[in-house]
Amino acid sequence: MDRLALVLEAILLTAAKPLSLEQLESFFSSEEAVTRPQLRAALKVLADNCVGRSFELKETASGYRLQTREQYSTWVLKHHIEKPAKYSRTLLEILALIAWRQPITRAEIEEVRGVAVNGAVIKTLLEREWIRVLGHKEVPGRPEMLGTTRQFLDYFQLKSLDDLPSLMEVRDVDLATLVVEAPSD
């Protein structure tokens, strides 16, 4: 690759958006005396030198840019898989109540926890398909009865709800031996 093509590569690899010929020209001082035909020729050299690389030179409506070839999208997309946030204690408590005391209504959850149930938490649990509405309780207002799903069992690697420790066990077990510190970061 000649020097001009290399400079163009460096400019395009650090550009936030596509750059037109005119914009590329502005990167050079008048002493450097880079002409349009020279620029075009250098861009051609650059494009040829991207053969066999993971990226290619593309000319879009607003100008030139270096972009990743599509066949690498599988891997490149994984940049976006952010490490998910942790679930709140509230969510875990509500999920635990639903698991151990299903079927359970919101009112019953509120009674045990002593605070109103945040609708967003129930929504999250429903979306995650860990809980579902088992039916409606035949009391005024016909509240929904909530229970856990098969996905819940699968996720927590339980064969059945019987595999959940009993309430007595939950109360007495030394969790210090169970809770494995999540790796930081």
List binders of a copy of itself among 4-33 (CB under 8 A). Answer: 6-7, 9-11, 13-16, 26-28
* DSSP letter assigned to residue 16: S
Map the footprint of a copy of itself across residues 124-163, applying CB under 8 A: none
Q: Which of 29, 37, 61, 70 binds another protein (CB under 8 A)?
A: 70
As measured in angstroms, the least distance from the Cβ of 183 to another protein is 4
**Cα angle: 133, vertex 135, 141; to 5 degrees:** 105
Query: CA-to-CA distance for 15 and 12, rounded, in angstroms?
Result: 5
Structure tokens that stand for 182 in this block: 């999540």
As measured in angstroms, the least distance from the Cβ of 24 to a copy of itself is 10
Residues 6+ apart with CB under 8 A from 35: none
Query: CA-to-CA distance for 57 and 106, rounded, in angstroms?
Result: 58
Kindly tell me which of 36 and 107 has the beta carbon lying closer to another protein.
107
Residue 31 binding target from another protein, a copy of itself, none, CB below 5 to 8 Å by type: none
Residue 7 binding target from another protein, a copy of itself, none, CB below 5 to 8 Å by type: a copy of itself
Q: What are the angstrom distances between the C-alpha of 80 and each of 24, 77, 83, 84, 174? A: 30, 6, 9, 11, 38
Question: In terms of residues, how long is the chain?
Answer: 185
Contact status: 154 vs another protein (CB under 8 A): yes
Map the footprint of a copy of itself across residues 75-114, applying CB under 8 A: 75-76, 78-79
Torsion, Cα 150 154 159 165, to 10 degrees, reads -100
Number of residues that bind another protein (CB under 8 A): 87
Structure tokens that stand for 172 in this block: 């007495």
Residue 63 binding target from another protein, a copy of itself, none, CB below 5 to 8 Å by type: none
User: Binding residues for a copy of itself, per CB under 8 A?
Assistant: 1, 6-7, 9-11, 13-16, 26-28, 52-55, 68-69, 72, 75-76, 78-79
